[in-house]
Structure 1
Amino acid sequence: MNDRKKLTMEEKKIFFDFMRGTRQLVQDTIVHKSVRKSRTQRVLQRVSSTQREHSYYFSDEFQPVLASAGASRYLRHGVNQYELNKLYRGYYTPEIVLDLHGMTQVQAKQELGALITTCRQKHLYCSRILHGHGKHILKTQMPFWLAQHPLVLAFHQAPRQFGGDAALLVLIELVD
């Protein structure tokens, strides 16, 4: 109210009659937090959810039927046999390498999921996984995990120049 218009006594009386029986409100301050996440939080959430999606496929209980004699190899149904032969002969050069030396099975599964995610995002067709010899734990489990994943087209024991029987060459399906 500005100073130019002053209330008369009668107007003040009318105002107080209307306000009789009321009490003053207590002002509570509510601070609203921003709903929008920062860019780094969104990127981290997307990466972790993608890794969770890919690690879901790696079960220790599921045992697919793989060739027991000879080198570790797998070919998804519907993929040309020639792709497996090209892997064996070293026709494909790995575009990315995953070294699992010294990792536990849980860590290896997470890294394998991250590898498949990276291959999809960067459109990398062939990858090399170094599982090593060690106690043969990762060496025996890796083919079972890879055969479970729907984006793995084929894998074969790597030729000598790419690690021999301590490594696998893997072909990943590129999804647009």
Structure 2
Amino acid sequence: MKKKFILSEDDRLLFRQAVSGAQPLMKNRVRLSKRQHASSASLSRPLIQDQVTTTFYFSDEFQPLLQEESPPSYIRPDVNPYEVKKLRRGDYTPELFLDLHGLRQTAAKQALGALIVACQRARVYCAGVMHGHGKHILKQKTPLWLAQHPDVKGFHQAPKEFGGCAALLILVELVS
């Protein structure tokens, strides 16, 4: 067995004098009652409901009609096509970013749904989605999912300063 570090009597006396006025700390942990647990769970229910509702729009079987051009681009029929041109030129600066690196498809769908809800709540018109290169699974699926959502006005491949061909800029319709 190893010997413990032993202080001399002078060092112990010096330490005791240094901490003589100190008081023990109060507990820093709070136990919630069952009522508090229930109220905190009910606060998160609307957010969970919004995520479930928004992921409802993302289907893997449905293939929206997107242009087969190299940079992924989409504009909803009722939106001015000039908006996508603004996205391409970098006129819009995304205020929220979502990084999908390392996520599986189901988690990526949920994150996209949460991003759209967060944009609407925070009144953010333009957001960025980083899907990365990887095996090109999320790079191919993300535009297909976004084109299906009714609150996405359009998207385009991000300019280089916002991720280039590994990211998309999306325009979200703000609900009043």
Relative to the length of structure 1, the TM-score reads 0.78
Rounded to whole Å, the distance in 2 between the matches of 1:40 and 1:46 is 12
Write out per-residue CA displacement over residues 49-79 of structure 1, whole angstroms, 9 at most, x where no aligned residue: 1100000000000000001022100000110
Partner of 2:168: 168
SS across alignment from 1:154: strand
Alignment of structure 1 residues 8-157 onto 2, 5 Å: 38-157=38-157
Q: Does 1:158 align with 2:158?
A: yes
CA distance in 2 between counterparts of 1:158 and 1:39 reads 41
Deviation of the 1:38 alpha carbon: 3.8
Gapped regions of structure 1 (runs ≥ 5): 1-33
Q: Match of 1:138, as an amino acid?
A: L
Q: Deviations over 1:98-123 (max 9, x none)?
A: 00001100110010010011001110
Counterpart-to-counterpart distance in 1, 2:157 and 2:125: 16
Structure 1 runs of 4+ with >2 Å offset: none
Question: Quick one: distance in 1 between partners of 2:131 and 2:141?
Answer: 10
AA of the residue aligned to 2:144: F
Give the root-mean-square deviation of aligned CA atoms: 1.7
**TM-fit CA distance, 1:39:** 3.0
Between the aligned partners of 2:44 and 2:160, the Cα distance in structure 1 is 38
Aligned-residue sequence identity (percent) comes to 52
**Partner AA of 2:83 in structure 1:** E
| Deviations 1:68-91, CA, capped at 9 Å, x for gaps | 022100000110011000000000
- How many matched pairs? 143
Structure whose alpha-carbon radius of gyration is higher: 1
- The one-letter amino acid paired with 1:53 is T
Residue 123 of structure 1 aligns to which amino acid in structure 2? R
Question: Which secondary structure does the structure 2 equivalent of 1:129 belong to?
Answer: strand
Instruction: Determine the structure 2 residue equivalent to 1:21.
Output: none
- Distance in 1 of aligned mates of 2:112 and 2:129: 9
TM-score, reference length from structure 2: 0.78
Deviations 1:120-165 (A, max 9, x none): 1110000000000000000000000000000000100001111110
